Amino acid sequence: MRRAFHAPRSIRRRLTLQLVTGAALIALVLFVIVFNFARQIGSESQDRILAASAASILDETSVISGRIAIDIPYSAFSMLDNASDDRVFYRITRDGAGLTGYDDLPAAAQAGAAPGFDTVRFRGEDLRVATLSRRLSIGGTPVQIAVTVGQTRDALADVLSRILRVTVILGIGFFAASAMLAVLAGQSTANSLRRLAGSVSRRGPQDLRPVVAEVPSEMRPLVASLNSLIARLSTALTRTEDFIAEAAHRVRTPLATVRAHAENTLRRVDKEENRVALREMIRAIDESSRAAGQLLDHAMVSIRADQLDLSPVALNALVGELVDRLRPVADLKDMDLRYRGDGPLEILGDPILIQNAVRNLLDNAIKYAPADTPIRVTLTHQGRSAVLTIQDEGIGFPESGAAHLTGRFARGENAAGVIGSGLGLTIADEVARAHHGKLTVANTQGGPGACVRLSFPLR
Amino acid sequence: MRTLILSLALTLLALPLRAYEVEEHVRFPSERAGPELRVISTADVDLFTPFILGFQARNPGISVDYYMVSSSEIEIALTEDGAQFDLAISSAMDQQLRLANDGLVQSYRSTATASLPTWARWRDRVFAFTQEPAAIVLSRADFEGLPLPRTRQDLITALREHPERFQGRIGTYDVRESGLGYLFATQDGRSSETFWRLTQVIGGLGPRLYCCSSDMIEDTASGRIAVAYNVLGSYAQAREDLHDRIHVIAPEDFTTVLMRTVVIPVAAEQPAAAGLFIDHLIENVWFEDSGRFAFPGITSDSLTENASLRPIQLGPGLLVYLDRLKRQQFMEEWEAAMVQPG
């Protein structure tokens, strides 16, 4: 229950709670005011009737031949009749001495000619009394005649309990209506936040335009800072892509230059030990160049895979082009690179990433398979997927299994003699995942060599 | 059966000395041992016996001790003497109301009392169980050949035109002794000025003053008096044996209607049994077809149909004529009109 004492974390809840609490307070205040007002009015109306009753008795009080004559009118008491059958008491005094009525009935203190009112305890009940007095003269001697009329307060209590019931219903009704409005207000506030969140999350990956949705003025600072964040993010992304392109260029070009120089030198050098050293050098340069290329590929894949830029890709054409481009490299090892593709298979994807993946797989096959062996590349339509299969007749994957090879920098135990960074399969795997596709690596059944399958869902 | 009980239980001579005067005391023993209900009442034993026997038939085991008194005696018994009774039944509504107003009676609630209209109960303490008109009873013999008076004015005319026939032969309540007579007289005085003129005329004819309705009815029937003014109509109706000798007139100018009421005094020792008795009265007198009983119930329908019926309101207005000074003043006026010298 500790939670209840903290402001709730949800804006909707906090707002609703505050409004509901406010409504409860107002309902309570309303109740107290209305009830007190009703009690005052009820009390005043009883006072008025009591005063009228006392006045009507006093009106019928006169001096007849030196004697005080009091002829209480029937209406003096019948006007006090009410639905609750309240008890009625009265007392008439002359200069404080009882003339008639209930001798022990206390009188109310009176100011001048105005009636005085009081609430007294009489015969075990609360009594409201009104006292009115008048000066008469008997043979030149002034006498004070005071009339006190009292009544129990059952009718008032009845009326009050009825008003209390109505007021309670009114208060509860007001509270319920306010609480409902509070919930609605909380919801509508939360909704405008949710709408903003929705409009931001529905955006495409490349959509880094500022948010222009109509929002309540209180949320404008949030949108402004969101827009400024988007702007900075956009700048940072552009800068990263630029950096990758720049780095690729900067690293590859000097390495190519160094390799060219090393090859030239190799041709001129006759001494066997120098030639060995130069060949080692060329090998190291190749390794660096390839590693740099793959690292940059991987970085590119990572960035682009996070926010995939989908467009229709003609897979057949893309793979055919890559095979053609890599054929010279394969020819160097006297490899027969054969490609057979089913008709136009179109998928939704990022062409640059798919190109990257396929190139790395072809690269791997050419590199790890022994010279003078064929590499078969086939593109087939299987169910709802396009499947690219690359089969070679090389040493294949190690017996220990091929699954872990898609991990970063993982290399097969049997690939020690070949230049490689271990990133090729990783890149292909990440691209496949980003496109909801799949990369499977296995050895060719019933024969030497590896079989790599890359599948993408069709459009 | 009834006469047997009456003769067995008539003990009015054997009563110990009391400040209040008991006219008749009847005990209705029960077959089984059980609580004893002490009832003080203004109703004639003869007329009330069927209700008591009916009550005992429904509640065997409750014996009833019935004290019949005149209406002013009830108040004396319950206030000054502090006598212990479980029920007080009276036709003097004003005194019953004052007992309740002064806190001398208990409240009682049941389904039967809740079924009473609000004007027939007061503070759940005073319960009405009959509505009885104040009637004029005439001797058939004396009005032979005369038009029957329908209103007080008719009566005044008849009395003025034939003073020799009515001299000394008019009967009415002595309001100084009878609480019911005082209630009827004050309500009449409130309703119309005709009452005072009639009182003057009656006073001039040397009236006979009575304590009780039954005496007036019997004297009219016997020819002792010719006119009885302000008689309980219910009693007159109940005396079917006398109907060939009397006319019972409900004056058409206005007929005062009183409600017979019952209360449970605070000193009651058997309030539960008293409550049962009240339920019985309400159920059997107020609501049942009362043709079988001596007390006719007047339904609220007949009250609205007959505009001349003036029911006495059960409310604090009744306290007015009980005021010492007011009463004194009324008595002076009444005596001046009624008890004329010569």
Q: Closest approach of chain B CAs to the CA of A26, in angstroms? A: 39
Q: Using pLDDT thresholds of 50, 70 and 90, give the confidence band for residue B300.
A: low
Together in a domain, A128 and A24: yes
Mean pLDDT (whole number) for B1-10: 47
| ipTM summary value | 0.82
Digit-coded pLDDT (tens) for A30-73? 889 988 998 899 899 999 999 999 999 999 998 888 888 888 99
User: Which tokens hold the place of B313?
Assistant: 């309101």
Together in a domain, A296 and A244: yes
Which residue from A minimizes the CA distance to B327?
A71
- Does A167 fall in a domain? no
Number of separate domains in chain B: 2
Number of separate domains in chain A: 3
Digit-coded pLDDT (tens) for A421-458? 567 888 888 888 888 888 888 888 777 788 889 999 98
- Does A346 fall in a domain? yes
**Residue bearing the bigger pLDDT, A344 or A118:** A118
Query: For residue A288, what are the domain limits?
Result: 210-307
Digit-coded pLDDT (tens) for A252-303? 788 888 889 988 988 888 888 888 988 888 888 888 888 788 877 877 787 7
In A265-402 the beta strands, taken as DSSP E runs, fall at 311-314, 336-341, 346-349, 374-382, 385-391
**Which residues of A lie closer than 8 Å to B, measured between beta carbons?**
69-78, 80-81, 83-90, 92, 99-101, 123-125
**DSSP output for B119-156:** GGEETTTEEEEEEEEEEEEEETTTTTTSPPP-SHHHHH
Which residues partner with A100 through β-bridges? A92
Digit-coded pLDDT (tens) for B55-106? 999 899 999 999 999 888 898 899 888 889 999 999 999 999 999 999 999 9
Interface check B101 vs A, CB under 8 A: yes
Together in a domain, B116 and B170: no
Digit-coded pLDDT (tens) for A89-128? 999 999 989 899 999 999 998 877 789 999 999 988 899 9
* Residue B211 contacts residue B178 (beta carbons within 8 Å): yes
Identity of the residue in A71, A77, A83 whose CB atom sits nearest the CB atom of B316: A77
Which residue from A minimizes the CA distance to B186?
A74
Digit-coded pLDDT (tens) for A69-80? 888 999 999 999
Q: Under an 8 A CB cutoff, do B323 and A87 touch?
A: no
- Tokens 């059944």: give the residue: A445
**DSSP output for B214-235:** HHHHHHHHHTS-SEEEEEEHHH
Which CATH number is A370's domain given? 3.30.565.10
Q: Closest approach of chain B CAs to the CA of A37, in angstroms? A: 28
Q: Closest approach of chain B CAs to the CA of A102, in angstroms? A: 10
Q: Are strands A141-152 and A125-138 parallel, antiparallel or unpaired?
A: antiparallel
Together in a domain, A328 and A265: no
Q: Which of A61, A64, A65, A85 to mutate to test the interface with B (most CBs of B within 10 A)?
A: A85
Together in a domain, A148 and A16: yes
Q: Using pLDDT thresholds of 50, 70 and 90, give the confidence band for residue B290.
A: very low
pTM above 0.80, yes or no: no
Q: What is the pLDDT of residue A83?
A: 83
Which residues of chain A neighbour B190 with C-beta distances below 8 Å?
A: 74
Query: For residue B225, what are the domain limits?
Result: 132-256+321-338
Which residues of chain B neighbour A83 with C-beta distances below 8 Å?
A: 118
Q: What share of chain B is helix, strand, coil (3-state, %, to 5)?
A: 45, 20, 35
Digit-coded pLDDT (tens) for B96-108? 999 999 999 999 9
Which residue from B minimizes the CA distance to A80?
B316
Which CATH number is B201's domain given? 3.40.190.10
Q: Under an 8 A CB cutoff, do B101 and A89 touch?
A: yes
Identity of the residue in A78, A99, A125 whose CB atom sits nearest the CB atom of B315: A78
Quick one: CA torsion of A310, A316, A321, A323, rounded to 10 degrees? Answer: 120
Q: What is the pLDDT of residue B33?
A: 82
Q: Under an 8 A CB cutoff, do A78 and B324 touch?
A: no
Mean pLDDT taken over chain B: 86
Q: What is the pLDDT of residue A10?
A: 81
Together in a domain, B26 and B71: yes
Number of Cβ within a 10 Å radius of residue A401? 10
Chain B from 243 to 302: CB within 8 A of any A CB: none
Which residues of chain B neighbour A88 with C-beta distances below 8 Å?
A: 101, 316, 319
Which residues of chain A neighbour B318 with C-beta distances below 8 Å?
A: 77
- Does A183 fall in a domain? no
Which CATH number is A79's domain given? 3.30.450
A-B Cβ pairs (cutoff 8 Å, strict): 61
